[in-house]
Every structure is written in C-alpha cells, then in structure tokens.
Amino acid sequence: MNRAAVVLRAGPGLRLDLHDGKIFAITIDTPETPAQLLNAEASRLETIRDHT
C-alpha cells in the first residue's frame, strides 16, 4: 500500500499526492499555509524543468 497518514485529531489536514503514486496525509491546524508553500515550490520546480 502506498499511503501513509498522521492523524492525531479531527479537523483540517493536508494531503500530498506524490509523483511516485504515494499519498501522505496529516492533520494540522492551518493547512492553507503549507499548501500554498508546497504549491509555490512545485510551480517553481516545474518552471525550472521547462527551461532546461
């Protein structure tokens, strides 16, 4: 199975669908901030990859 999660309580969380097909999820208080950071980094890496 290619899934893992850290669930310590009910509430909002963050789910990552990785390139290798694995899924990782974690419950955190404000998932919006890390989601924005991860999306920005993914976009930056995609731009770099497109220009090489």
Whether residue 2 contacts residue 25, with contact meaning beta carbons closer than 8 Å, is answered with no
pLDDT tens per residue across all 52 residues of the chain: 799 999 999 999 999 999 899 999 999 999 999 999 999 999 999 999 898 8
Beta bridge partners of 17: 23
pLDDT of residue 3: 95
pLDDT, residue 1, reads 73
- 13-19, long-range: CB < 8 A, 24+ apart: none
